[in-house]
Amino acid sequence: MRRKLVAGNWKMNGSAESIRTLLQGIKDGAAPVAAVELAVFPPFVYLSLVEQQLSGTAISWGTQTLSEHASGAYTGEVAGPMLNDFHCAYVIVGHSERRTLYGETDDVVARKFAAARKVCVKPILCVGETLEERDQGITESVVERQLKAVLDLEGIEAFNDAVIAYEPVWAIGTGRTASPQQAQDVHAFIRAKLTERSSEVAAKTRILYGGSMKPANAKELMAMADIDGGLIGGASLEAKEFLAIAQAGC
Ligand code: 13P
């Protein structure tokens, strides 16, 4: 049985003050949704604050990206070993905003995935097609290509300690959610691709849905056989909404 994971990707939002309030709200409301694992992904500069606030709780934290390099002359970047200093459990890799706005290729994403594993931080690998790609009917080949880059570099066993997030780009921040069946179809496809390499690993790997997940649609989405939680953007910035999504997964 895969335990559901509801993860809040805060993107480039928040302030020290708003984050204190948000975390207090999440902590206060976490007990009734303990069946679901919760995790938050602040901007780097608030990691220390988040660690202070969440240490000793059951809520995990991590970052929104990391460098593929371990150290060196890479101005502005943050390396995997640094995440260990803040006891990050997870790191998001290959988010579509990183791929499209910052030019991260499948190869770079695979190397970031490897860098995370090297320091024992669990990667959450994001995959997903653009609207144009969906309209062209190539959703599966896009997702397969994104997944294959990581599988070829790191192998199927790497997914024993990794999570996948299917985030259709056209559903991110648009208020336009994939229907539960549309999402389930892609999730099942991803699991089938993992199964080709190991049915044991495929059965264990959590596949999250991301893209305008809200309290109103979370229950239906998470009721699908291969949807094991959510990667939440906008709705993770309010404790009440984030917890209501978690509740829907209980
Ligand atoms: P929204 O929930 O705001 O659509 O964002 C989804 C996302 O990109 C999470 O990583």
Determine the Cα–Cα distance for residues 53 and 21; give it in Å rounded to an integer.
10
Q: What is the CATH number of the domain that holds 63?
A: 3.20.20.70
The total domain count for the chain is 1
Residue 234's domain comprises 5-248
Instruction: Look up the pTM and report it.
Output: 0.98
CA-closest residue to ligand 1 atom 7: 233
Q: Check pLDDT > 90 for residue 176.
A: no
Tell me the average pLDDT across 158-179: 95
Burial 75-86 (b: 16+ CB within 10 A, else e): eeebbbebbeeb
pLDDT of residue 79: 98
Q: Which of 95, 104, 154, 241 is catalytic?
A: 95
Ligand 1 atom at minimum distance from 126 CA: 10
167 is catalytic: yes
Q: Check pLDDT > 90 for residue 77.
A: yes
Ligand 1 atom at minimum distance from 210 CA: 6
187 is catalytic: no
Ligand 1 atom at minimum distance from 212 CA: 4
> 236 C-alpha to center of ligand 1: Å?
9
